[in-house]
Chain A
Amino acid sequence: MNELGTATVATGQAQARVLVVDDNNLNRMKMRRAVENLGHAADVAEDGARAIEMLRSQPYDAVLLDIVMPEVDGFEVLDFLKHDEDLRDIPVIVISSLDDETESVVRAIELGAEDFLPKNFDPVLLKARLGASLTKKRYRDQEREYFRRIKRLTKAAEVLESGRFNPDSLGLDDIAGRNDPLGHLANVFRGMAAEIYQREMKLERAIQALQGSFLAIAVGLVWGLTPALSRMASGAGANPLGLAVWVNAIAAAFCLSVAAYRRKLPRLGLSEFTFYFGWAILAGMLQRMTTFIVTEHVEAAMLSMIVTLQGFMVFSFSAVTGLERASPRRLLGLIVGLIGVTAVLLTRFDLAHASQSGWLLFAMLLPLLFAIEALVLDGKRPEHIDTFASVGIMMALSTLMLLPIAYSTGKLMPLDLHVVRLDVLVVLMGIVGASSLLLAFHLVSTAGAVFYSQSAYTMTIAGVVWGMLLLNEQLSAVAWVGFAIIVAGMYLVEPRAREGELLIHRSFTAR
């Protein structure tokens, strides 16, 4: 409470806004002038309805009220005021000719009028009664304000208890801005909440980055198995198109079975079907066809490098559209990752030989298609549909698309149970394909398209690692350094921050 405020309350002399309600113009003239002579501001209302309207729309410190009025009389105005939570504390002084309206005055006081004045009042009496009413009103206002602020602080404590420590959620800004004990309390309260919130946010982000990185590595490891398995399958007599049909069919069967077992098979609306159809064309047809053509003309190591451009494409698109945060730090992370991949590939391949010019340009179609897929998955996926069901439906649709082509060109090899090794390989590839898509789908939805696109790096690396494990190839120390650089890049890129406020788990209860 500031000293100035206390002083004005004590004397009741500060200028107040008074509403004069009387149907008699002569009385309104007199009362307005009398109130203004005491140094207050006066408004007039010529009937009860108008008075209620003005009281609703503007703040008044006191009302001088005539009782006998046509239509809405003084009692009704009083009744309205005393039944309104915000207006009930405005003091009402009833103006009445005492000689014949004693009953009215008694009734008005019972209804909550603060005081009364006879019509032919002495100016000193008006000054005394209005002054006393205004003083009480100011104390009540301060009291109300005080309790309102206490209530807000209590409310803020409840917000904290529910685990919401974001200072913006506490709604204490105006209270904390005041230079009094409650303001100081609010300030301490808010400051401590802010500190805890910042700390928890940092922790949360670190955990998210770690989870995202593990997931990206897992996507890469699983996906990276595919080239090695493909090579083994080719060795066992499979052709790429026929292999794709079988692998997709098995992946679809696997995913849909899991979804069915979990009772999560969805009913598809037109818009959802359109999404899966588009995704199947993108992932099942376009990406696969492009891969077939490109692998025949571009060296594998060079292709791995080109595919990693995906991250930069997603990043540029996100930066242009504002879909995700596009900071220099994230761009730097992508570049660091690219350096890591280059380091690993340099240890294994002679890039100087890679001069296929025109085909290199065509090969860039592949990361572009991957980038589009990441962005579409991030922005358009039907979020209510189960991950397994989503991947299963897409795989099933792409199988249905590839099947007629494979069949008509005679590429659909029969799966002969006697050729045991190929069958096992195909089933393995189906499950690997499904798993990698499931992981990818999950990663896009939790960490965002930009972070997800880094799985292109881990995929390339994993290809190398699996080649080393399955085909007994050697790996130099430089390659290991390259891996470390890629992980550093991931740290820089950071997964997309989760939307909404972070809820903090609390271990103590106040009650």
Chain B
Amino acid sequence: MTGEVIDQRAIARLLEVTGGDPEFLQEMIEEFDNTAPGLVESMRQAAMAGDLDRLRISAHTLKSNSREFGAFTLGTLCETLEHACRDGMLAEPGTIIAEIHREVDMARSALAQLQLSHE
């Protein structure tokens, strides 16, 4: 499973869209690395405060960002949370947020290794 945390084809597509510049890709990975934990924290606070709107937007953003780098498992978890918020069907946000947290950490380390393989 660990080898499939991120999809290499997504990374290649991202590189192509942004003009094939590895340095810029590196910048984007850093941006993901910097913002993803904050998004998880934001989800946690929103869940505690019962702010479904904020929870939904945070899940939407993280979904979009994780898919950008091919972290599809993380993306699907975020999508599930987003839809649950949208439909008002959220029973246990704590469980799924904990899962998301775990997947974020895995994606970050996978992306860090990717960075190494580039160098």
Q: Is the CB of B35 within 8 A of A26?
A: yes
B73 interface residue (CB < 8 Å to A): no
Bound complex: CA A322 to CA B102 (Å): 86
One of A28-36, A398-406, A462-470, A488-496 contacting the partner: A28-36
Given contacts A23-B61, A68-B57, contact A97 B67 (CB under 8 A): yes
Enumerate chain B residues within 8 angstroms of A34, measured Cβ to Cβ.
Answer: 17-19
Considering the complex, which residues of chain A in the window 47-91 have a beta carbon less than 8 Å from any beta carbon of chain B?
Answer: 68-70
Q: Is the CB of A37 within 8 A of B19?
A: yes
Enumerate chain A residues within 8 angstroms of B60, measured Cβ to Cβ.
Answer: 68
One of B25-33, B93-101, B109-117 contacting the partner: B25-33
- Please list 13 pairs of residues, one from A and one from B, whose beta carbons are closer than 8 Å in the complex, sorted by A's number: A26-B64, A26-B65, A30-B14, A33-B18, A33-B19, A68-B60, A69-B57, A97-B63, A97-B64, A100-B83, A122-B17, A123-B16, A123-B17
Considering the complex, which residues of chain B in the window 38-81 have a beta carbon less than 8 Å from any beta carbon of chain A?
Answer: 53-54, 57, 60-61, 63-65, 67-68, 79
Q: Is the CB of A120 within 8 A of B67?
A: yes
Interface 0/1 of B1-19, CB less than 8 Å to A: 0000000001001101111
Enumerate chain B residues within 8 angstroms of A26, measured Cβ to Cβ.
Answer: 28, 31-32, 35, 64-65, 68
Interface contacts (Cβ under 8 Å), in number, total: 62
A359 interface residue (CB < 8 Å to B): no
Shortest Cβ gap from B25 to chain A (Å) = 10
Bound complex: CA A24 to CA B61 (Å): 6
Enumerate chain B residues within 8 angstroms of A122, measured Cβ to Cβ.
Answer: 13, 17
Enumerate chain A residues within 8 angstroms of B83, measured Cβ to Cβ.
Answer: 100
Considering the complex, which residues of chain A in the window 377-392 have a beta carbon less than 8 Å from any beta carbon of chain B?
Answer: none
Shortest Cβ gap from B47 to chain A (Å) = 17
A376 interface residue (CB < 8 Å to B): no
Instruction: Label chain A's interface by main secondary structure.
Output: helix
Enumerate chain B residues within 8 angstroms of A126, measured Cβ to Cβ.
Answer: 17
Given contacts A33-B18, A122-B17, 20 further A-B contacts (CB under 8 A): A23-B57, A24-B65, A26-B28, A26-B31, A26-B35, A26-B65, A29-B27, A29-B31, A30-B18, A30-B68, A33-B24, A37-B18, A68-B57, A69-B57, A119-B64, A119-B67, A120-B13, A120-B67, A123-B17, A126-B17
Interface 0/1 of A283-308, CB less than 8 Å to B: 00000000000000000000000000
Interface 0/1 of A120-159, CB less than 8 Å to B: 1111001000000000000000000000000000000000
Shortest Cβ gap from A363 to chain B (Å) = 95
Shortest Cβ gap from A147 to chain B (Å) = 38
| Residues of chain A whose beta carbon lies under 8 Å from any beta carbon of chain B | 23-27, 29-30, 33-34, 36-37, 68-70, 97, 100, 119-123, 126
Enumerate chain B residues within 8 angstroms of A24, measured Cβ to Cβ.
Answer: 61, 64-65
Enumerate chain A residues within 8 angstroms of B35, measured Cβ to Cβ.
Answer: 25-26
Q: Is the CB of A100 within 8 A of B79?
A: yes
Find the A residue at minimum CB distance from B70.
A120
Find the B residue at minimum CB distance from A28.
B31
Nearest 7 Cβ contacts at the A-B interface: A37-B19, A33-B18, A123-B17, A34-B17, A24-B61, A26-B65, A68-B60
Enumerate chain A residues within 8 angstroms of B18, measured Cβ to Cβ.
Answer: 30, 33-34, 37
Bound complex: CA A104 to CA B50 (Å): 25
Shortest Cβ gap from A35 to chain B (Å) = 10
Find the B residue at minimum CB distance from A101.
B60
Enumerate chain A residues within 8 angstroms of B32, measured Cβ to Cβ.
Answer: 26
Checking B10, B54, B61 against A120 with a beta-carbon cut-off of 8 angstroms, the contacting residue is B10
Enumerate chain A residues within 8 angstroms of B68, measured Cβ to Cβ.
Answer: 26-27, 30, 119-120
Enumerate chain B residues within 8 angstroms of A121, measured Cβ to Cβ.
Answer: 17
Enumerate chain B residues within 8 angstroms of A68, measured Cβ to Cβ.
Answer: 57, 60
Shortest Cβ gap from A117 to chain B (Å) = 11
Find the B residue at minimum CB distance from A97.
B64
Q: Is the CB of B67 within 8 A of A29?
A: no
Bound complex: CA A123 to CA B19 (Å): 9
Enumerate chain A residues within 8 angstroms of B53, measured Cβ to Cβ.
Answer: 70
Bound complex: CA A68 to CA B62 (Å): 13
Enumerate chain B residues within 8 angstroms of A29, measured Cβ to Cβ.
Answer: 27-28, 31
Enumerate chain A residues within 8 angstroms of B64, measured Cβ to Cβ.
Answer: 24, 26-27, 97, 119
Q: Is the CB of B31 within 8 A of A25?
A: yes
Bound complex: CA A100 to CA B17 (Å): 22
Bound complex: CA A70 to CA B42 (Å): 14
Checking B17, B54, B57, B63 against A30 with a beta-carbon cut-off of 8 angstroms, the contacting residue is B17
Shortest Cβ gap from A76 to chain B (Å) = 15
Bound complex: CA A25 to CA B36 (Å): 12
Shortest Cβ gap from A128 to chain B (Å) = 14
Shortest Cβ gap from B35 to chain A (Å) = 7
Bound complex: CA A25 to CA B65 (Å): 10
Find the B residue at minimum CB distance from A70.
B57
